[in-house]
Amino acid sequence: MKTVDSYNFAGKRALIRVDFNVPLNERFEITDDTRIKATIPTIKKILKDGGSCILMSHLGRPKDGPTEKYSLKHLVNPLSVILGLEVKFADDCIGESAYEQASALQAGEVLLLENLRFYKEEEKGNVEFAEKLAKLGDVWVNDAFGTAHRAHASTAVCGQFFTDKICGYVMQAEIDNAQRILENAERPFTAIMGGAKISDKILIIEKLLDKVDNLIIGGGMTYTFTKAQGGEIGKSLLEADKQDLALELLAKAKEKGVNIIMPVDNVCADAFSNDANRMTVATGQIPEGWEGLDIGPDTIMLFSEILEKSKTILWNGPMGVFEFPNFAIGTNAIAEAVVKATEENGAFSLIGGGDSASAVNNAGYGDRVSYVSTGGGALLEYMEGKVLPGVAALED
């Protein structure tokens, strides 16, 4: 795989697939620019070499072609500020105006293309569409690990039209850090799996049972485990058809000598709202009409003690409904424990994208853990052992 450092971009127009799928508020302002900042080193290396950059990305999930809400034009000013230069914008990602602007680019200049997903062909992996995109540049750089698990036109198919296919810094760091976790984890190795559904995490949990010493389970999925073991969960989130699977996972963990740690208490609410009435109860004792929305103080202490003794930590998924400040206490406390393990115990900590990354960054801990992944689904699939089309496309 060719890397950014091994290639000289002088005089080249680099067509870079970046992941600028960032959250915007109602005023179209970016609320978390982690993904944009992550790609800056790749862009700057190309410009420093004397090349130019044509950036392509998707934003959101537009259903019917061009939509104001999902236009990448909203990113032009913030990107210009971060890069310290005036970023040009093409109001299409293919077509005459895009080609003219791309071919007129001078060394040191940056052009941002309009949202790729305004064309349905992007997600379909359409070869003709990929070829049209490829005509914009001389060399293809894939730095969008967050979409590497999709065989889309820009993330994978595009590669076949280039002799020079380059792995960007983000992509390289993501693969290197995932490999470190999978192949060279220092022990004790603790994985924290949170989030709403067992069905979303079943493959990664099964894979991790062969790797980890401790598996901490939090978030909405814990209530399915609790119910399967005969506990009362009120109106908490439940995957009723996954209860047998939950028991099977517990049995497999025991068989493999993995220590599974579940919540011992929950913070529950009488409505799905930040302002709901709250109470803390022992796990399996949530009354009728109430639902668990966070882990309780005893659980925080239990999980934190295990994390503080760990040497490798993988975290994917929040401990509760962290979007509500009153139910973000557990997630924030676990973030603090991961930071403490990293800084005081020398642990290697990988935060697995998506909600976990947002939680860690929002709490201001992004630079106090070892690595924050930009790809939630992509990281999980890579760790599950699946071939990622965006990675495979870079391999000669």
What does the pLDDT look like over 265-284, one tens digit per residue? Answer: 999 999 999 999 999 999 99
Sorted by sequence, the CB contacts under 8 Å of residue 142 that are 6+ apart come out as 16, 17, 148, 155, 159, 165, 166, 167, 168, 171, 390, 393, 394
Question: Nearest 5°: phi and psi at 266?
Answer: -130, 145
- Residue range 227-266, pLDDT digits in tens: 999 999 999 999 999 999 999 999 999 999 999 999 999 9
- Average pLDDT value for the chain: 95
**Burial degree of 286 (CB within 10 A; 0-12, 13-18, 19+):** buried
Question: Would you state the pLDDT for residue 362?
Answer: 81
309-344 per-residue burial string, b: 16 or more CB within 10 A, e: under 16: ebbbbbbbbbbbbbebebbbbbbbbbbbbbbebbee
pLDDT of residue 366: 86
Task: Just list the catalytic residues.
Answer: 35, 197, 354, 377
| Residue 15 to residue 140: CA distance in whole angstroms | 5
The phi and psi torsions of 116 (rounded to 5 degrees) equal -60, -35
What single letter denotes the amino acid at residue 71? Answer: S
Residue 385 to residue 366: CA distance in whole angstroms? 27
Q: Which two tokens stand for residue 275?
A: 């302002």
Strand order in the sheet with 165-167: 2-3, 165-167, 139-142, 13-17, 52-56, 110-113, 88-90
* Cα–Cα distance, 148 to 124 (Å, whole number): 14
Alpha-carbon distance of 316 to 359, in angstroms, equals 11
Length of the chain equals 396
What predicted TM-score, i.e. pTM, was given to this entire model?
0.88
**What separation in angstroms does the CA of 265 have from each of 262, 291, 293?**
9, 13, 11
Q: Which of 65-74, 116-125, 197-206, 276-285 bottoms out in mean pLDDT, i.e. has the lowest?
A: 197-206
Helix axes 297-308, 329-345, angle to 10 degrees: 20
Distances (CA, A) of 235 to 238, 239, 246, 287: 8, 12, 18, 8
Q: What pairing do the DSSP bridges indicate for beta strands 52-56 and 13-17? A: parallel
Least confident of 64-68, 167-171, 188-192: 64-68
Structure tokens at 187: 């022990």
On the CB side of 228, how many CA atoms lie within 13 Å of its CA? 21
Q: What is the mean pLDDT of residues 115-140?
A: 98
Can you tell me the distance from the alpha carbon of 234 to that of 229, in angstroms, rounded to the nearest whole number?
14
| Strand pairing class (348-351; 312-316) | parallel
